[in-house]
Amino acid sequence: MQLQLPEPSADALAASRSLQLLIAGDIRRNGGWISFARYMELVLYAPALGYYSGGAAKLGKDGDFTTAPEISPLFGATLAHLATELFPQTGAAIMEFGAGTGKLAFDILSELRAAGQLPQHYYIVEISAQLRARQQEKLRDFPQVQWLDSLPATFSGVVIGNEVLDAMPVQLVVRGQQGWLERGVALDAAGALTFADRVGDAALAAQIPDGDALPVGYLTEVHPIGAAFMQSLATMLQQGNSAVLLIDYGFPAAEYYFPGRVQGTLMCHYRHHAHADPFYLPGLQDVTAHVDFTAMARAAVEGGLDVLGYSSQAGFLLSAGIGELLLRTSPEQSAQYLPQSNAVQKLISPAEMGELFKVLAVGKNVDWPERLLAHDRTYRL
């Protein structure tokens, strides 16, 4: 079926065609087939051409999707207050992964400055040069901010990753007659991108509970790159006292690999339109999958971290005090209060982001605040 989506500019279309040629070359050099994770890596991160490394606007009303920091500064303010609660245990340092436009960092730092609690360091790990430039402009008034190209060997502090795990490449697997196959990317007779299945590493499907009971044709994602990231985090945090907050859309494994979810969770976002074709205009659209939080928690524990908590975004934000921060503006000041209240509603409503988005907290040598366990769902992992 032909997708009816907004037309890109001529320059954007030319960039997408260049990326398609690059991908085709990579497929030919690798015997006519690459994993979907490799394809996803190229369409998102290929230098100058990938979705996150090219020049197109990604976030907000002019981009392809809107994240929680763009909806309300109270999201970042809530995280700031939690950070100050943890600083006595962790030290006054924050590290953020994938900081997007810099809006979340700006809101956190603005709240901490107003409270007289600015950290000594606010590190941003950002691999996109284009996004880093936007962040540097946004955060120019905060000399605490330093940009890193990769994880340092050690860190002690508060780590934040908002919508980071969903941007990590995933492998696709499909249940065949004789077991699991890996679904990768090849070229058809006309040279166009197409899916192709082959026998893959049997360990790929190991994270799927009761995988052998799922029906033939069942297609889903597995997350070895996300799991490896969690283990790298664990290695970095072994020597200190740290808490990690990972906020993203996803499910525990028992829900992720529900028998009725026969086509997985892979989704593409192009100018606020969601669709399921990852081969549409490579480099101009986001390609994501939901997060298997069980796999992420397991990788963290295997790396030596503790699971501190797991809850819906709504439960986390309410427990962390977003309601009290909202009430800093009197409801009687309706012109100021109502827009803020409506924005918070989007963050916590089950019909909006409140239930689909989850918060996984892991850490090392940290006591998690008791009040944040009010809505804890760790038992579901």
63-67, 133-137, 183-187: range with lowest mean pLDDT: 63-67
Give ∠ CA 205-206-209 in degrees, rounded to 5.
95
In this structure, the strands spanning 158-162 and 242-251 are: parallel
What confidence tens digit (pLDDT) does each residue in 123-164 have? 999 988 888 999 999 999 999 999 999 999 999 999 999 999
What pLDDT is attached to residue 60?
Answer: 46
Arithmetic mean of pLDDT, 312-319: 98
Helix axes 103-114, 129-138, angle to 10 degrees: 30
User: Among residues of the chain, what percentage have pLDDT more than 70?
Assistant: 96
Two structure tokens written together for 187 = 């070229």
Average pLDDT, the chain: 94
Q: Residues near 84 by Cβ (< 8 Å), separated by ≥ 6?
A: 112, 115, 117
Q: Residues near 53 by Cβ (< 8 Å), separated by ≥ 6?
A: 44, 45, 46, 47, 127, 128, 129, 130
Burial 339-366 (b: 16+ CB within 10 A, else e): ebbebbbbbbeeeebbebbbbbbbbbbb
Q: Which residue has the tokens 């494994």?
A: 253
Report the alpha-carbon distance of residue 142 to residue 136 in Å, rounded: 9
Give ∠ CA 329-333-336 in degrees, rounded to 5.
65
What pLDDT is attached to residue 272?
Answer: 78
Residue 3: which pLDDT band, with cuts at 50, 70 and 90?
Answer: low
Report whether pLDDT(13) > 90: yes
Three-class HEC string of 279-322: CCCCCCCEEECCEEHHHHHHHHHHCCCEEEEEEEHHHHHHHHCH
Q: Which residues share a beta bridge with 267?
A: 288
Report whether pLDDT(57) > 60: no
**Whether the Cβ atoms of residue 268 and residue 276 lie closer than 8 Å to each other:** yes
- Classify domain 31-172+204-380 at the CATH topology level: Rossmann fold (3.40.50)
Arithmetic mean of pLDDT, 171-179: 95
Residue 206: which pLDDT band, with cuts at 50, 70 and 90?
Answer: confident
What pLDDT is attached to residue 373?
Answer: 95
What pLDDT is attached to residue 285?
Answer: 94
What confidence tens digit (pLDDT) does each residue in 36-51 have? 999 999 999 999 999 9
What confidence tens digit (pLDDT) does each residue in 322-335 have? 999 999 999 999 99
Report whether pLDDT(20) > 90: yes
Extents of the domains making up the chain: 31-172+204-380
What confidence tens digit (pLDDT) does each residue in 292-315 have? 999 999 999 999 999 999 999 999
What confidence tens digit (pLDDT) does each residue in 82-92 have? 999 999 999 99
